[in-house]
Structure 1
């Protein structure tokens, strides 16, 4: 088939790699003048790792990323309220934290090597669904295709989203990992004060072979406060961070300019119809959510693999798209619900929810089933999403 994909992000590139490798003629259209990712670090969970191994690039992920064995969240006074250990699911289960640019490079190479064409400076603003063609910002259209894949993310023009933005986002910046300061090279560490002040540090591997291990530092910030933060001298903001987390000083020393940070905004929304004729939404185009569970990239990878599998198993395209939705629907619903439930506990103006969190999280974690449940939730394996794909 001839397949057009809008968006050269994680979902789009993964889908391009799978589908081109299966023999389809694939073209990816992206608005950027040059292929490049946006953002800092992310965690490729066991679900996402399975997808990358299916693409035969799992070894590249392991080589470039940092193994995570634990998520360690504590209050300002050092009390642990989040303790997620992957080994509760098995000794060979772990997360891999990686710079977005490194993961992007792995997927871009996989798509290109599979034979997918990738066109830059092609901003998709709509579609001629009758003739199955994307419409670009310059008025031109893509060639007629058998299938259009919307991997344009949260701001896709194909899904109407009103008032779905979350009030809190996060500042993200990269710094050398402070290996000598008591931070674990295999853990994501966080500090919380209420639900509107928090910071985190996560090892994300290296961009180049032989380079020092990097860390992603993030800080919760209300979207309405971002402009004020830009106007605040950086040293004053650092003082606020250090009051919460003095041990973060070595990482903060790396930042000398506001431009070293990217501000990420988040939203929560699920498209009512993941398939419209021969247009199918994948990744954030279908299901956008906050990053509290670290599932965004992994859900996108699962979508790409599931779509490829469905097209492989069904000769009729409409039947394949229906099978794709059926395969992914329950897992998407489950994690959208969990994300909606947990986001206010960690990013909101609520005083009651974080108070309950700080009081109850530790004693609840002692129940015999909780370590495995928490690990499965973070690993993305609740609902057994890989069952029908492997």
Structure 2
């Protein structure tokens, strides 16, 4: 049986392992974090296309159980005026977008992988790969920082934005680009007037004078919020204090007639800031024995909120190609042909949204057509929901 070494135990890695298991291919996950990385990130959205890809591998249930829905988007100006409302694409075709903490998604995917007998090795940071000559072809060995190694028939780099696998495949590969914005997420128990947003099952998007703000209300009443904050790239090892970020973000919305500043002030220390990057294209996705998926191959700015769904799609499509093709290289080629155009289109759409939120009040108040933030999945030309209507036939 073919054995796959999966580098990275995040969303892409866990989903790929389960999809390979369904395809009858052995997989083992190697994660650099010493534990399950339960504290990684803030919260995210899995859209209809991502949920449908999970359904293909019978992994949709745990995600639905640990998340809550959003059915519409409400757009508000810095003066508090309602600019528009619309349903989120995909809400009429089964489960619509689901919101959950990134740590929760990691946890439920890892639990489901463990239930299927998939091994996850923690504390394994990839530093090199080596070819392994075999009578029936060449395999690959992963070499880890702790001096250990593992051998397999192929290696899948699901190791994220700052991928080691990507650099091993192509040392000249482009590096992620900083978009000029920080993304800050937080949680608030602030009690708002009943007629003030955010409303249940709604994402309220506020086009402030100085920054962009979004929020939704969880079933227990807690408000989950994020802000796209223009600013310099900070040291990832020293992102700053939650209190400092809370003051900075709240200050950007103090002059607006919206609930944004009050929500940020009411938050506690659960404030998480990250740099916003994208990776529009890389020339080489694979070798004969190695391939990259998810953010390691393509990364969109967070504005379109499709990162998790794209990673999920990647894993299922790659597993199907490995099941149906005679060797890893032909499977990798088929996977790239099926995925490159779509994911690069998503990256471009999200970059367009990021530019609009940085253009000042006039630009920020014109939502990008055909994107999840604006509630549509169409491309603005033919009205087709190209983004959320995507389906994988197993």
Deviates more, 1:269-278 or 1:176-185: 176-185
User: What is the total number of aligned residue pairs between the two structures?
Assistant: 369
1:288 to 291, 299, 318: 299
SS of equivalent to 1:191: strand
**Shift in alpha-carbon separation, 1:145–1:213, aligned structure 2, 3 A:** farther
Q: Residue 106 of structure 1 aligns with which residue?
A: 108
SS of equivalent to 1:275: coil
Q: Residue 32 of structure 2 aligns with which residue?
A: 31
The within-5 A match list for 1:33-48 is 33-37=34-38, 38-48=40-50
* C-alpha contact (below 8 Å) 2:52/2:391 kept by paired residues: no
Q: Residue 6 of structure 2 aligns with which residue?
A: 5
Quote how far apart the aligned CAs of 1:97 are. 1.3
1:333 to 344, 357, 360: 344
Quote how far apart the aligned CAs of 1:185 are. 1.2
Q: Deviations over 1:141-196 (max 9, x none)?
A: 22x211100001000122433461211021112344858644211011121225x5
**Shift in alpha-carbon separation, 1:385–1:219, aligned structure 2, 3 A:** closer
Q: Deviations over 1:269-325 (max 9, x none)?
A: 122111122111100000011011111000000000101111222232222222111
1:201 is aligned to 2:215? yes
1:238 is aligned to 2:238? no
For normalisation by structure 2, the TM-score amounts to 0.82
1:320 to 313, 331, 334: 331
* C-alpha contact (below 8 Å) 2:155/2:290 kept by paired residues: yes
Quote how far apart the aligned CAs of 1:120 are. 0.7
Q: Residue 315 of structure 2 aligns with which residue?
A: 304
Q: Tell me the distance in 1 between the aligned counterparts of 2:127 and 2:384.
A: 32
* C-alpha contact (below 8 Å) 1:295/1:380 kept by paired residues: no
SS of equivalent to 1:127: strand
1:151 is aligned to 2:158? yes
1:247 is aligned to 2:259? yes
* C-alpha contact (below 8 Å) 1:152/1:285 kept by paired residues: yes
* C-alpha contact (below 8 Å) 1:189/1:200 kept by paired residues: yes
More helix by share: 1
Quote how far apart the aligned CAs of 1:245 are. 5.4
RMSD: 3.3
Quote how far apart the aligned CAs of 1:387 are. 4.5
Q: Deviations over 1:308-361 (max 9, x none)?
A: 111222232222222111111221122122223222111x3x34xx52453x55
2:181 to 164, 168, 185: 168
The within-5 A match list for 1:4-83 is 4-37=5-38, 38-81=40-83, 83=85
**Shift in alpha-carbon separation, 1:380–1:273, aligned structure 2, 3 A:** farther
Q: Tell me the distance in 2 between the aligned counterparts of 1:89 and 1:238.
A: 32
Q: Residue 208 of structure 1 aligns with which residue?
A: none
Quote how far apart the aligned CAs of 1:381 are. 4.7
SS of equivalent to 1:165: strand
Runs of 5+ consecutive residues of structure 2 not aligned to the other structure: 133-138, 168-172
**Shift in alpha-carbon separation, 1:109–1:189, aligned structure 2, 3 A:** same
